[in-house]
Amino acid sequence: MKILLCLAVTVVLFGAVTAFADEAIDGKNPLICATIEAIDCSPGEKCEKGLPEDIGAPQFLRIDFANKKIVGPKRTTEIRMMERNDEQITLQGYELDMGWTLSLDRSTGKMAITLAGSDVAFVVFGACTPLP
């Protein structure tokens, strides 16, 4: 009986992961993303790792593909460019005198965001999931 129950749970979980990979990150449905780690770099200085909040990045943000916006708790930024292939979605824009790029792995939901200005660069790592 335990083996049958374990097998049933495995099938359900595998199906959920497959559904997530196939449909969840399609570049159409909105996502909620959590930032996990940040890196802050300036010319001639050692890069520093820390929490996203240490560099002013939001803990959570929402990607609204339909309206071409990334929405955070304090500001909303326009998505100016979006490229999509089978593996990832890449978004780009401009905010706070810096260009930014967000790369999103369609199968895992992992993301990396880079922000670059003339004398500073930030990298923020996180993960996204579909909004319920």
Rg (CA), the chain: 17
pTM for this predicted structure: 0.80
Cα–Cα dist 94/102, whole Å: 11
What pLDDT is recorded for position 23? Answer: 54
Q: Which fold has domain 2-130?
A: Porin (2.40.160)
pLDDT tens profile 60-95: 999 999 999 999 999 999 999 999 999 999 999 999
Q: What is the DSSP string of the chain?
A: -HHHHHHHHHHHHHHHHHHIIIIISSSSS-EEEEEEEEEEE-TTS--EEE-GGGGT--SEEEEETTTTEEE-SS-EEE--EEEE-SSEEEEEEEETTEEEEEEEETTT-EEEEEEE-SS-EEEEEEEEEE--
What pLDDT is recorded for position 132? Answer: 81
Residue 21 CB-half CA count within 13 A: 10
